[in-house]
Homo-oligomer: A and B are copies of this chain.
């Protein structure tokens, strides 16, 4: 384990801090400087710094750099994760009101519905033409017969091809199409777990998973996740040593709500853990295609033991309206997943899936992703500029390298569930932290998204939200 360059960098930097070369609160040299100093790639330096951040040796400030952790004077505060790293297994209790919030928050917009989204998109026009063509072709047969439970072979073939490019060697037979990532997660958890089983999740976790766990009467154990690196294999191991877990739901690439990206080594270590501790990794990879700079590998790419099942969809990268997701099954649960899909919904739409398949095979999805990643990064920057210029109160967040959102910590005095209700009266949607845990530890957090263009109306909403936060913040 001591062969990695980044570990050498961590050692060197830690020693400088011990020797008080840099004091608490002091800014350390930039990534570029350190990269030169250590003759290391920038990404290696970044890995080192992120690991030191996860260990609370450093903290990062948006667009400013890394600092030695401790008290410091500015308008933000550090992220205080609980010192207890994991919870104990217990049933999930999701309050009724959250179903309403969920339905409104799923679009990642500051508005409840598409008020400000009337423009058309070239890639959608093209996608619609592909689907339209598939609908016209052999329409009687499609109307009269159901697709087999796993869904369109053509689309599964295209997906298998995409996965090959990120070192996942599968055939169309490994894939089961679903009607979205939530559906994929539901079917997979139904297949892998029995009532009363314990499932480990990241904390903060995707609320959709918590709700499935409640419905299926599964217990949850929450594992603290770093806002930049996600959960660590050490913490997962600690949980597995203490309790028998059936599955661990992980979003390794640009997880919601934090946008964290799990380092390669952690992915490898967790894949090994699943084999030694006999649990299934349910990998929610819906944001994997939304890396600004590159497409990181899922955990599955490193899993030599076939314990990882990927759940994903096109809802965040292409369209929510095509309702198309999929499961990359493993051998152990493939048959069970197909059976549960069959009894849950019988079949998938053939025309829509064949249309998507030709859209993919002609390279349109790949081209669309290049634009989308650029757009998302720009939208993130616009949002951050707005916040920096206008929010005059305590808040903190990490800058993600992909995904759709940032995870904003406000003053502990602010109850963001109450803020949610106030904002709704002004037609503004925020996603309160309470949704992302079975506990109340994130009650002063909100998820903010940059999935939509910061038009005048959205800017205005963000400023209004800022004023609400300021009123509730301590002076």
Q: A320-B146, A344-B186, A349-B323 are in contact. Are A140 and B128 (CB under 8 A)?
A: no
Q: Is A223 engaged at the interface, CB distance under 8 Å to the other chain?
A: no
Contact partners of A211 in chain B: CB under 8 A: 339, 342-343
Q: Which residue from chain B places its CB closest to the CB of A135 in the assembled complex? A: B128
Indicate with 1 or 0, residue by residue over A95-112, a CB within 8 angstroms of chain B CB atoms.
Answer: 010010011001101000
Q: Please state if A140 and B119 are interface contacts (CB–CB under 8 Å).
A: yes
Contact partners of A322 in chain B: CB under 8 A: 143, 349
State the CA gap A333–B375 with chains docked (Å): 43
Partner of A120, one of B102, B140, B351: B140
Partner of A346, one of B131, B183, B217, B345: B183
Contact partners of A356 in chain B: CB under 8 A: none
Q: Please state if B132 and A343 are interface contacts (CB–CB under 8 Å).
A: no
Q: Is A347 engaged at the interface, CB distance under 8 Å to the other chain?
A: yes
Partner of A106, one of B143, B146, B217, B340: B146
Contact partners of A148 in chain B: CB under 8 A: 103
Contact partners of A3 in chain B: CB under 8 A: none
Q: A103-B149, A135-B131 are in contact. Are A144 and B343 (CB under 8 A)?
A: no
Contact partners of A128 in chain B: CB under 8 A: 132, 135-136, 139
Contact partners of A37 in chain B: CB under 8 A: none
Partner of A344, one of B118, B135, B183: B183
Partner of A182, one of B215, B346, B351: B346
A165 to chain B, nearest CB (A): 24
State the CA gap A348–B322 with chains docked (Å): 9
Q: Please state if B107 and A146 are interface contacts (CB–CB under 8 Å).
A: yes
Q: Which residue from chain B places its CB closest to the CB of A142 in the assembled complex? A: B321
Interface residues on A, range: 35 or more
Q: Is A268 engaged at the interface, CB distance under 8 Å to the other chain?
A: no
Q: Is A369 engaged at the interface, CB distance under 8 Å to the other chain?
A: no
Q: Is A455 engaged at the interface, CB distance under 8 Å to the other chain?
A: no
Q: Which chain A residues (115-167) contact chain B, with CB distance < 8 Å?
A: 117-121, 124-125, 128, 131-132, 135-136, 138-146, 148-149
Indicate with 1 or 0, residue by residue over A21-44, a CB within 8 angstroms of chain B CB atoms.
Answer: 000000000000000000000000
Contact partners of A335 in chain B: CB under 8 A: 96
Q: Which chain A residues (315-362) contact chain B, with CB distance < 8 Å?
A: 315, 318-323, 335, 338-340, 342-352
Query: Among the interface residues A107, A138, A144, A211, which one has the most CB atoms of the partner chain B within 10 A?
Result: A144
Q: Please state if B347 and A106 are interface contacts (CB–CB under 8 Å).
A: yes
Q: Which chain A residues (193-227) contact chain B, with CB distance < 8 Å?
A: 195, 208, 211-212, 215, 217
Q: Is A363 engaged at the interface, CB distance under 8 Å to the other chain?
A: no
Q: Please state if B144 and A114 are interface contacts (CB–CB under 8 Å).
A: yes
Q: Please state if B125 and A141 are interface contacts (CB–CB under 8 Å).
A: no
Q: Please state if A107 and B186 are interface contacts (CB–CB under 8 Å).
A: no
Indicate with 1 or 0, residue by residue over A219-248, a CB within 8 angstroms of chain B CB atoms.
Answer: 000000000000000000000000000000
Contact partners of A136 in chain B: CB under 8 A: 125, 128
State the CA gap A99–B323 with chains docked (Å): 24
Q: Is A291 engaged at the interface, CB distance under 8 Å to the other chain?
A: no
Q: Is A47 engaged at the interface, CB distance under 8 Å to the other chain?
A: no
Contact partners of A182 in chain B: CB under 8 A: 343-346
Contact partners of A352 in chain B: CB under 8 A: 349, 352
Q: Is A60 engaged at the interface, CB distance under 8 Å to the other chain?
A: no
Partner of A351, one of B208, B315, B321, B343: B321
A99 to chain B, nearest CB (A): 5
For this complex, 10 residue pairs linking A to B, each with C-beta atoms less than 8 Å apart, are A99-B342, A109-B144, A114-B145, A124-B140, A125-B139, A128-B132, A180-B347, A182-B346, A208-B343, A321-B349
Could you tell me which A residues sit within 8 Å of B by CB distance?
A: 96, 99, 102-103, 106-107, 109, 113-114, 117-121, 124-125, 128, 131-132, 135-136, 138-146, 148-149, 179-180, 182-183, 186, 190, 195, 208, 211-212, 215, 217, 315, 318-323, 335, 338-340, 342-352, 451-452
Q: Given A114-B144, A121-B143, A143-B321, list of 10 further CB < 8 A pairs?
A: A99-B338, A103-B342, A114-B142, A128-B139, A132-B132, A143-B319, A145-B320, A179-B345, A323-B349, A349-B352
